[in-house]
Structures are given as C-alpha cells and as structure tokens.
C-alpha cells in the first residue's frame, strides 16, 4: 500500500463565487484555527454531526489522529483520538473518526507493527464521551501474518452504537502453502465489546485502492476496485441483505487491465433505495471519471454517466443530498496543477455545471478529497494542499 508522509492544518471556506469567464465557478476559502502542516483529511457525517479527521505530527515528531466537529458556527477545538509513534501517515490510506447513532464515536487507523518491515495492523477504538477518552484499540482482524491490513472504511449502524468495518487484507499469501494468494476484502461488525467474526467478501482485490461503504435499504453496500487473474481492475460492489452478503458484481465493464495498483479507489453514496457509485478508470488509455445510479438498494445497476472534464486525476468521493442527487468530488488536471472539482448528478441522471473548489498537486502526495452534505445544496469538501508544509483545507460549497 502507498506510504506517503507530510504534515497538517485545516481551513474552511464559506462562499461560492463566480469563476473565470468561460470556466467553472470557483469556491473561495479561509483558514481555520488549526495547526499548520497536514495530511490525510477525511470527512464523516451522521445525523446532524459532521467530523473532519486528519493526521498531525506534534513538536516531538510523533504522529496523531486528530479531529474536530463542524457546526453552523464553524469548527470545534481539535482533539486527539490517538498519538502513536507507529501510526502510519499515508495520504492514500486515510484514518477516520466517525459519529455513531448513539452519540458515540469510532476511530480507525493503521499502525506499523513493531519489529516488522512489512506488517501493518488496522486499529479501532470507541469513545462514549465526545472523544475525551477512548477504549483500548483492538484489531478487527485476528491473524498475525507479516502482511498489510488497511484501506478501511467504518459504517455506523442506523441505530444504536454499532458499526461495521471493511478493509483490505494481505493474509492469504502468507497463509498459503506456496505463498500463493492475493489481497482480499474483509468485513466485521462491532459487537459493543469487540469485533464479531471476520467475513471475506472477495478473495482477490486491488491492493492499494481505498474502499467505500454506505448504508443501503437492507444493509451495507461496499464498493472497491476488484482484480482478477488477468489483471482486470474494474469496480465491483457487494451488498448485505440484512442476513447474508451477495457475490461481487461489477458496476460497469470498463475493461481496465494493468499490472500495478493505480491507488485510485471508488466512492459510494446512498439514500433510501438509491445508490450512487463514482469511480476513475484508465481503460483504453483514456482516463475518465464516471458515476452509476443504482436502484433497489444496489441490485439494479444503471448505465454510467461521465463526470470529468477531459483530464481527470480521479481520486473521487461522493455524498447523497436530501433531494436524491449525488455530489461528486474529484481531481482534474489543470496545467501542472489539479483542480478540486465538485458537480451534482441529479436522480434522473442529468449533470449540473462543475464548481472549482481550489487547486492542489496531481501527485499522490495530495491524496483524496473528501465530501459530506451540509445543507440542501451545500456540501463540505476537504482536501490536502501540498507544499512545505502541506495543508488540509476545507470549503463549504453551494452547488447549482
């Protein structure tokens, strides 16, 4: 999995202004009262709570998972979920702090296993007092193989304090007799005191592309970049009907084959029976970003709609708005830079004009932008501005 280092801070932006003539409108931003230097932003939203999390190094150089709440008045004071010299700062594998239905919080992050060059462990902890204290971190995976576990996504249960987590898991090769096997996709549910059984959702997946999960009408729906023996790396979903998991199903037959991981995972958003999946593909040597609207809680796959402006870097995220439309954020090349762009895909498949939020680097150091809803047509976007130091930025954008 990709391992990239940088440092942290946050900014918020409150207005959407008209853009350059003949170009997309541009959102303007303002710094927030957070520490300078940043990496790996991730926005989470549940009910009426929104959280931004990120990785930050302190004066001693030790990395921490930090987070702050967002409300109508701005950001709360930043808090620390964990401080650990073994925490693995990674722009492609962002940790997260997620609000739960019972008012609690759950956090996930990846640590380098002490004494191992290769092993990475996924850690999860829970807070019942707004993040002031946290439970002892535990792993959802029970194997001790010298392999990587990460690219996780937490999904709060609709009620109570439960949640599930999906992650990429490299144990198959280490446990096989001849070192055969590939990175797999796993799922486990939090029981309140620990994790229940591990469920393998797909035995062979792309090993450094982020996962995405959302609550469908019957249960969780997971989107991820698949991988077959011929190195086809298109996007698939698996869904839970409340009792069992489905077999993997391709979202679209892009036909993208390559022998290396593109570090460019999908996004998924749900609302009622509606599901939207957004993704990047480099099929036919033509980079592009697409979204597909899926009905019946992830059963009926719809045709894809092209989202990008012709030169995408990808690295998508998505969120569903109250009217059933989907807001999609991605990176679009603009000269030597990349624009953070957002546009809205209506429930009937029509697209609105894109909004340019800001610019960043197209390099892997910029990681993924993140997006959550904030009002009927407003979204909150967070991203990494590369530089020395890098900065995590955030903007509130009103979409057309």
394 or 297, higher pLDDT:
394
* Residue 109 and residue 166 in contact, taking contact as beta carbons nearer than 8 Å: no
- Contact by Cβ (8 Å): 224, 205: yes
pLDDT in tens, 279-334: 999 999 999 999 999 876 666 777 899 999 999 999 999 999 999 999 999 999 99
Q: How many CA atoms lie within 13 A of 307 on its CB side?
A: 34
User: For the chain, how many residues are written?
Assistant: 400
Residue with the two structure tokens 């462990």: 121
Domains of the chain: 11-398 (2.120.10.10)
Token pair in block for residue 111? 């640590």
Residue-level pLDDT at 31: 54
pLDDT of residue 25: 58
Model pLDDT for residues 34-74, shown as the tens digit of each residue? 577 778 999 999 999 999 999 999 889 999 999 999 987 78
Report the DSSP beta bridge partners of residue 98: 106
Burial of 121 (0-12, 13-18, 19+ CB in 10 A): buried
Per-residue pLDDT reduced to its tens digit, 226-241: 999 999 999 999 999 9
* pTM of the shown model: 0.91
Higher local confidence (pLDDT), 17 or 224: 224
């Amino acid at each position: 999995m990709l391992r990239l280092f940088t440092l942290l801070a946050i900014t918020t932006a409150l207005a959407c202004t008209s853009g350059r003539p003949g170009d997309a409108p541009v959102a303007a931003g303002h710094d927030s009262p957070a520490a300078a230097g940043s990496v790996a932003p991730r926005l989470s939203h549940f009910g009426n709570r929104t959280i931004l999390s990120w990785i930050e190094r302190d004066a001693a150089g030790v990395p921490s998972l930090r987070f702050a709440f967002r409300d109508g008045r701005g950001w709360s004071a930043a808090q620390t979920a964990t401080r650990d010299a073994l925490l693995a700062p990674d722009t492609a594998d962002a940790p997260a702090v997620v609000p739960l239905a019972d008012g609690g919080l759950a956090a996930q992050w990846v640590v380098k296993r002490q004494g191992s060059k290769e092993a990475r462990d996924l850690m999860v902890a829970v807070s019942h007092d707004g993040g002031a204290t946290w439970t002892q971190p535990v792993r959802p995976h029970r194997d001790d193989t010298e392999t990587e576990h990460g690219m996780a996504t937490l999904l709060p249960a609709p009620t109570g304090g439960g949640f599930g987590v999906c992650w990429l898991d490299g144990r198959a090769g280490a446990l096989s007799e001849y070192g055969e096997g590939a990175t797999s996709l796993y799922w486990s549910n939090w029981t309140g005191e620990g994790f229940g059984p591990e469920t393998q959702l797909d035995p062979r997946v792309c090993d450094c592309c982020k996962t995405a999960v959302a609550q469908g009408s019957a249960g969780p729906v997971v989107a991820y970049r698949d991988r077959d023996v011929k190195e086809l790396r298109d996007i698939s979903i698996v869904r839970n009907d409340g009792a069992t998991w489905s077999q993997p199903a391709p979202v679209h037959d892009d036909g993208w084959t390559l022998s290396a991981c593109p570090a460019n995972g999908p996004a998924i958003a749900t609302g009622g029976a509606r599901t939207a999946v957004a993704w990047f593909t480099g099929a036919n040597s033509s980079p592009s970003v697409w979204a597909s609207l899926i009905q019946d809680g992830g059963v009926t796959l719809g045709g894809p709609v092209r989202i990008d402006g012709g030169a995408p870097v990808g690295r998508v995220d998505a969120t569903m708005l109250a009217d059933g439309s989907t807001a999609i954020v991605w990176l679009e090349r603009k000269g030597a830079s990349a624009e953070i762009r957002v546009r809205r895909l209506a429930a009937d498949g029509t697209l609105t004009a894109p909004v340019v939020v800001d610019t960043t680097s197209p390099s892997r150091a910029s990681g993924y932008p993140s997006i959550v809803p904030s009002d009927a047509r407003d979204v909150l976007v967070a991203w990494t501005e590369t530089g020395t130091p890098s900065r995590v930025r955030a903007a509130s954008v009103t979409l057309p």
